[in-house]
Amino acid sequence: MCDASVSSTLALIPARGGSKGIPRKNLAPLAGKPLVVWTIEAARQARLVGRVVVSTEDAEIAQVAQEAGAEVIPRPPELAQDTTHTEPVLVHALEYLREWEGYVPEVVVLLQPTAPLRGAAVIDRGLRLLAETGCDCVLGVAPIQNSHLQGEIGERGEWLPEYKYGERLFSQQARPKYSENGALHIFRREVLETYGNRLGGDVRALVMDPLESVDIDGPEDLRRAELLMKAAERRRNDG
């Protein structure tokens, strides 16, 4: 990296014990491993990450994380509720490392465990983009399919298009649009201190493949992710 050494780049994985869609989702088995382990392994394999830390209030997650090679920060239970925002968890983790170790990272890589198909190469791509552009943040995004034909559904079930029926564009004429995928947030520490948010200042987008952007919310997502992993493994073996 150009302006932040690897040793000062921290991968932070928030993994609480509770969840709604899938009971104890971060420990749910996926292709033979607990869900959180896929993200830990990706972070550890990234060449531009210096430390990998999991923030959790859950003893079982802490044990699984340590066995997978991550360090663990004990998170207070009040910061592990359904309504807890990510930023207070980030602030707690950074304050903990500063207070107990005197460790103050320059760059933080926030990795949600719910994106198991986001690999080490994507993390390194994001960190290179941060270094090469000198930006403040890098945000993982995924393409939105048929964004030029989007709309909303009203209270009566009526279609409220964001386009005019008689002026539909061909897909190749429409400007591509993207959405946050939740898989990757990279930011300089000062951004969190200045804005109270993981995003602020000069934010650059890192376009990720839709497969890399798969997010685990319900049981069907676990099944889909496993099928995609098996398909990718077959392609590698055939190649």
Per-residue pLDDT tens over the stretch 171-183: 777 788 899 999 9
Q: What is the DSSP letter of 64?
A: H
Question: Does a structural domain hold residue 86?
Answer: yes
Residue positions counted in the chain: 239
Is 224 among the catalytic positions?
no
pLDDT of 2 > 70? The answer is no
For the chain, first and last CA: distance in Å?
32
Question: Does a structural domain hold residue 57?
Answer: yes
State the Cα–Cα distance between residues 60 and 58, nearest whole angstrom. Answer: 6
- Which tens digits make up the pLDDT trace of 83-125? 899 999 999 999 999 999 999 999 999 999 999 999 999 999 9
Mean pLDDT of 201-222: 94
pLDDT category at 4 given cuts 50, 70, 90 is low
Question: Does a structural domain hold residue 155?
Answer: no
Question: Does a structural domain hold residue 58?
Answer: yes
Nearest to 51 by CA among 104, 87, 1, 88: 104
Question: Does a structural domain hold residue 10?
Answer: yes
Question: Does a structural domain hold residue 31?
Answer: yes
Going by their DSSP bridges, the two strands 51-56 and 33-34 should be labelled as unpaired
Tokens of 115: 């994106």
Phi-psi region of 196 (alpha: psi -120 to 50; beta: other; left: phi over 0): left
Q: Say if CB 204 and CB 139 are below 8 A apart.
A: yes
pLDDT in the model for residue 149 = 82
pLDDT of 230 > 80? The answer is yes
Q: Say if CB 90 and CB 75 are below 8 A apart.
A: no
Nearest to 58 by CA among 76, 83, 40: 76
- Main-chain phi, psi angles of 70, to 5 degrees: -95, 155
Identified catalytic residue from 98, 168, 223, 234:
168
Nearest to 148 by CA among 162, 136, 131: 162
pLDDT in the model for residue 239 = 66
Mean pLDDT of 70-94: 95
Domain range for 34 is 6-142+178-238
Q: How many CB atoms lie within 10 A of CB 148?
A: 16
Q: Say if CB 138 and CB 129 are below 8 A apart.
A: yes
Q: What's the CATH number where 225 sits?
A: 3.90.550.10
Q: Work out the percent of the chain whose per-residue pLDDT is above 70.
A: 98
Count of the separate structural domains present in the chain:
1
- Which tens digits make up the pLDDT trace of 156-168? 999 888 888 888 7
Question: Does a structural domain hold residue 162?
Answer: no
Question: Does a structural domain hold residue 153?
Answer: no
Give pTM, 2 decimals.
0.90
